[in-house]
Amino acid sequence: MTQRLTPGWVSLLCLGLMISCQDPGATPNPVQTQVDAGPSLLEDARWQRAFRQLSAQAGPDAYVLEFDVHPDRIVLKARDPRAKTKVLQHTYRGGRVEAPVPVRLLGTGTLEDNLFPMSEVDWNRVPAVAQEALGAVDPEGRISHVLIRRNLPHDTQIRMRAYVSSPIRDGYVDADAQGKILAGP
């Protein structure tokens, strides 16, 4: 399947389910640049604060489609609790949670096959998985992001994948939903 994306939009294909929504990093602004220069959200204390705020907005019983953690922002795509066939994007940036925006779902896959309960992940392990990925790929690199979602189309397990970028080598490390490292670059 080929799809042409317009600038500022991102898409993800998971078991035939296409999602797209406004890319929160598509148009840099002075505030965003200042946030980038600050401490990473993958530091434990900042992660805990941001995660608490995001999960409060999405709800304690949220069903997650995708959780994408960047050093400067966190994007949670979760089922809308008021409309079970819809997904909302919740973004934490600059110390606050933005108003949720709807996500457009396309494709032949089912939303149910891609969702997982928020309670099935050990969210406290996300910063540690990121640090372990740095050590495994390149300690001098940087974490570009950590993506948590089902490992479709390969299997239905929930995976944390920490991506590392560096001038020497780019790579990633996979962990299970409890943060146990499974495979490396």
Count of other CB atoms within 10 angstroms of residue 26: 10
The answer to whether residues 172 and 133 touch, using CB atoms and an 8 Å cutoff, is yes
Q: What are phi and psi of 75, to 5 degrees?
A: -120, 120
Q: Which sign does the torsion angle of CA 169, 170, 171, 177 carry?
A: positive
What does the pLDDT average to over 30-57?
76
pLDDT above 90 coverage of the chain, percent: 71
pLDDT band at 38 (very low <50, low <70, confident <90, very high): low
Q: Among all chains, which residue has been given the structure tokens 């996979």?
A: 174
The 10s digit of each residue's pLDDT in 85-128 is: 999 999 999 999 999 999 999 877 899 999 999 999 999 999 99
Closest to 136 measured CA to CA, from 161, 153, 111: 161
Q: Which sign does the torsion angle of CA 116, 124, 91, 6 carry?
A: negative
Q: Are strands 158-165 and 9-14 parallel, antiparallel or unpaired?
A: unpaired
Q: What are phi and psi of 108, to 5 degrees?
A: -100, -10
5 or 122, which is more confident? 122
Helix (H, G, I), strand (E, B) or coil at 145: strand
